[in-house]
Amino acid sequence: MFLCCWLVLGALIPATLSIDPGVKVRLTEKGIEYGRQLGMAAMQQKLNSIQVPDFSGKERVSPIGKVRYNLSNIRVLKVGIPKSSVDLVPGTGVKMSIGDAFISLNGRWKVKYLRIIKHSGSFDLNVNGLNIATTISIKTDETGRPAVSSDSCSAAVGSAKVKFHGGGSWLYNLFTRFIDKALRNAMQKQICPRATSVVSDLNPQLKTLNVLAKVDKYAEIEYSMVSSPTVLKSSIDLNLKGEFYNIGKHQEPPFSPAAFNLPPQNNNMLYIGMSAFTVNSAAFVYNNAGVLSLSVTDDMIPKSSPIRLNTNTFGVIIPGIAKQFPGLMMKLLMKMEKIPTLTFETNNASVQATTTVTAFAIQTNSTLSPLFVLNLEASVSARMFVSEMKLAAAVTLNKMDLTLAKSNVGDFQSNLLRDTHCPQLER
């Protein structure tokens, strides 16, 4: 169903309608045009299921007299929709229009006149000039999912032409005069209920949409909307919550999303914008789970690097290490002391992090002997740009402050470690 194809993008709308979103999605007219193509297939399927009820009547036809007729077993053979459009209705939803559609049907007929004479046969019915217009409202329901409804519907049938098989020529006059209008009215009464059912059939599907997705064993993300879709003249904006949580424990972080806007662009089918809140909520979750830590060992350093993670290398800078723990490998444990903070600016992202770095000497029996603890405060910026159709970034180290928190190998100048060129780790 065409609405489901793009409403699923916004699927999901909790009761907390006043908070700012973490993620915004913009569906433009190009995206809606794609939905229109899918929607026409759904509408065509519904029109194929139109059921025209049997009907009968009697008319006086000269010179025969009173003729009783009956039309039955009317079924749809073919539906064509040569013209269709989907237009946005600001503040409401979308308007779906179908023009010059046609429906081909057939059925059985029978007549009785002069009390004893009967005729029967089949007929073909071609309905042309079928025009439908329905306005669809897009709102939210109490479960946090989208809900759609048909606000209005109008339908008109241009003509209904009948061709009979197996009867006298007088039948053509009878059915053309009296049955054409009856058939047209019967068809017209069926169309809007069918169009409305295309819309209403979406709601059971929308109610099954997930509002929560598991990321890994530590985290899940809620991507429900925090407000009803905003329908503008040329786009539909969806405001998604975009918040990470620890699995099974929905604890709100000590910060809130800040308002932000997508740039006024509509050239592409879809635009997605993410605020720093979403990334920071992930950092909050993983920090709570205790997984924002990194153990660094010598096998993670490229073999081509002259700098090795052992007491001989560090002993050049910190003599106490080489004296107390000669010839041993080392291990560094990096652990976040505060939640890392990401901020976004135009074409630029900055990360601030406060960590502790604990150094250990690895004894021959694999036990760890603590050497020193450093406090590390760092700030990194990345200027984002697109290069050869790929997202790229130029990274700048804004600040890196190292202070000695504790030492078991004597005091030393921590800035000596900061100024030492570090090789890139292999993970």
Whole-angstrom distance, CA of residue 186 vs CA of residue 197: 18
What percentage of the chain carries pLDDT values higher than 90?
20
Q: Average model confidence (pLDDT) for the chain?
A: 82
Q: Which residue has the higher pLDDT, 335 or 15?
A: 335
Q: How much is the pTM?
A: 0.70
> Could you tell me the CA-to-CA distances from 364 to 303, 314, 361 in Å, in that order?
22, 18, 10
Q: Is the pLDDT of residue 357 over 80?
A: yes
Q: Is the pLDDT of residue 172 over 90?
A: no
Whole-angstrom distance, CA of residue 92 vs CA of residue 45: 26
As a whole number of Å, the end-to-end CA separation of the chain is 45
Q: What is the pLDDT of residue 11?
A: 35
Query: Strand 293-297 and strand 219-222: pairing?
Result: unpaired
Whole-angstrom distance, CA of residue 154 vs CA of residue 147: 21
Rounded to an integer, the average pLDDT of 16-41 is: 77
> Could you tell me the CA-to-CA distances from 266 to 138, 262, 273 in Å, in that order?
20, 10, 14
Q: What is the pLDDT of residue 420?
A: 55
Q: Are 26 and 270 in contact (CB under 8 A)?
A: yes
Instruction: Tell me the per-residue pLDDT of 289-320, one tens digit each, with 9 for 90 and over.
Output: 888 888 999 998 888 888 889 999 898 888 89
> Residue 15 — very low, low, confident or very high, per pLDDT cuts 50/70/90?
very low
> Could you tell me the CA-to-CA distances from 385 to 17, 347, 390, 392 in Å, in that order?
34, 7, 8, 5
Q: Is the pLDDT of residue 19 over 80?
A: no
> Residue 284 — very low, low, confident or very high, per pLDDT cuts 50/70/90?
very high
**DSSP letters along 46-112, please?**
HHHT--PPPEEEEEEETTTEEEEEEEEEEEEEEEE--EEEEEEETTTEEEEEEEEEEEEEEEEEEEE
Q: Are 353 and 366 in contact (CB under 8 A)?
A: no
Q: What is the pLDDT of residue 399?
A: 85
Q: What is the pLDDT of residue 332?
A: 93
As given in the structure block, the two tokens for residue 380 are 């990194």
Q: Which residue has the higher pLDDT, 233 or 166?
A: 233
What percentage of the chain carries pLDDT values higher than 70?
90
CA torsion sign for 261, 263, 264, 269 is negative
Q: What is the pLDDT of residue 425?
A: 43
- The 10 Å Cβ neighbour count of residue 290 is 10
- The 10 Å Cβ neighbour count of residue 299 is 9
Rounded to an integer, the average pLDDT of 219-235 is: 88
204: CB partners within 8 A, 6+ apart: none
